[in-house]
Amino acid sequence: MSSRISLTRYLVEQQREHGHIPAQLRLLIEVVARACKSIAISVNKGALGEVLGSAASENVQGEIQKKLDIISNEVLIEANEWGGHLAAMASEEMDSIHVVPNRYPQGEYLLLFDPLDGSSNIDVNVSIGTIFSVLRKVNNQRGISEEDFLQPGKQQAAAGYCVYGPQTTLVLTVGEGVAMFTLDRETGSWVLTEDQVQIPEDTKEFAINMSNMRHWDAPVKRYIDECLSGKEGPRGKDFNMRWVASMVADVHRILTRGGVFLYPWDKRDPDKPGKLRLMYEANPMAFLVEQAGGLATNGRQRIMDVVPGKLHERVAVVLGSKNEVQRVTDYHLASPT
């Protein structure tokens, strides 16, 4: 048992060895991890905890909220607002930012999250998760506003997700590679189970919602057509397909065994750049994927270089094994906009 490394020990050692995890950031990560533990318990209770089904409300994106979306959001807010490590938070489930109340000290970080990603899978007992992104508060001159959050993903100080699946796994980067921690339910602690995760550069597995095929743009259609034509086609190999419809689960598979994930722009809603949200879905996943040796683009540009214009901005996403993402990106760059 002495060889087990807990999340706390991992963070302390990272701080000692690399000196790049200030105390507030360490506290922040531990608090988020603790909140995820509490969300995991609610997710696990399911029907017994009366947490399934819809709440009678919509979020800012016009989506019907599930009870667990709201519960998870509250757990994250309550856990994070009093510790002195944060200045403000933003969430998929809140229209505007939540500034730390005056009665608590204000910290140096900004936290963004999708409290429960993969909402359509909650009631059907399929993996779901929490995604988070950490930015530094760069402007010390005044109070906090939404503008303070509008930083490109390359400025993230940390990012991660927790997947509530057959195991509960927390995946984290502080910019020094990617580590995975599995929740030991008997001791209640996060145990390091994978360090320096690497995504294979090549893959035979793609993830996309094929039901949208008729709406795709030519470069995406070309890429998937080539995969589908298998050994006999230009790629000269057979491909496999997976689509969980929970980004956390699809990205977790890619971090574990490689693959490429696409949620491209499509013609259903041409004014939206994509379905997924830049700041609390695409950016944290892009940070993790790049830290594991993969790539993440919007088809034309590195996701973490995109400068957000608004908090709930959407973006097209192509991420995963380096050579496949490069190929999809090359197909886009070769085609007129």
Binding residues for Mg(2+): 92, 114, 116-117, 281
Task: For residues 294 and 208, give the distance between their C-alpha atoms in angstroms, rounded to a whole number.
Answer: 17
Closest of 205, 227, 319, 311 to residue 264, by C-alpha = 319
Among 135, 66, 55, smallest CA distance to 97 is for: 135
114 forms part of the interface with Mg ion (CB under 5 A): yes
Measured from the CB atom, the residue of 85 and 275 that comes closer to ligand AHM is: 275
Strands (DSSP E) contained in the chain are: 54-58, 64-66, 86-91, 98-99, 109-117, 128-136, 158-164, 168-173, 178-184, 189-194, 205-207, 240-241, 260-263, 276-277, 295-297, 314-315, 317-320
| 271: helix, strand or coil | coil
DSSP structural state of residue 6: B
CB of 75 to ligand AHM, least distance (A): 16
- Compare residues 120 and 145 and give the one whose CB is closer to ligand AHM: 120
Kindly state the number of chain residues that form the binding site for Mg ion, as judged by CB under 5 A: 2
Question: What angle is formed at CA 53 by the lines to CA 49 and CA 54, rounded to 5 degrees?
Answer: 125
Give the nearest distance from C-beta 249 to ligand AHM in angstroms. 8
Judged by CB under 6 A, the residue of 126, 245, 302, 326 near ligand AHM is 245
Residues 260-289 that bind ligand AHM (CB under 6 A): 263, 275
Q: Which of 63, 184, 226, 313 binds ligand AHM (CB under 6 A)?
A: 63
Judge contact between 214 and 84, C-beta under 8 A.
Answer: no
If one asks whether residue 217 binds Mg ion (CB under 5 A), the answer comes out as no
Q: What are the start-end ranges of the H helices in 229-333?
A: 247-257, 283-291, 322-333
Give which of ligand AHM, Mg ion, none residue 120 binds (C-beta under 5 to 8 Å, depending on kind): ligand AHM
DSSP label at residue 314: E
Q: Is 120 in the site for ligand AHM (CB under 6 A)?
A: yes
Is 118 a binding residue for ligand AHM by CB under 6 A? The answer is yes
Compute φ and ψ for 195, nearest 5 degrees.
-130, 155
Q: How far is the CB of 23 from ligand AHM (least distance, A)?
A: 32
Q: Are 181 and 193 in contact (CB under 8 A)?
A: yes
CA 293, 137, 26, 186 dihedral sign is negative
Q: Is 313 in the site for ligand AHM (CB under 6 A)?
A: no
Q: Contact between 148 and Mg ion (CB under 5 A)?
A: no
The one segment of 32-40, 45-53, 226-234, 240-248 that binds ligand AHM by CB under 6 A: 240-248
Assess 114 for contact with ligand AHM (CB under 6 A): yes
Per-residue interface string for the shown chain with ligand AHM, residues 204-233, x marking contact by CB under 6 A:
-----x------------------------
145 part of the interface to ligand AHM, by CB under 6 A:
no
> Which stretch, 23-31, 115-123, 155-163, 318-326, contacts ligand AHM (CB under 6 A)?
115-123
Residue 117 within binding range of Mg ion, rule CB under 5 A: yes
Instruction: Kindly list the residues in this chain that would bind ligand AHM in the complex (CB under 6 A).
Output: 63, 92, 114, 117-120, 209, 245-247, 263, 275
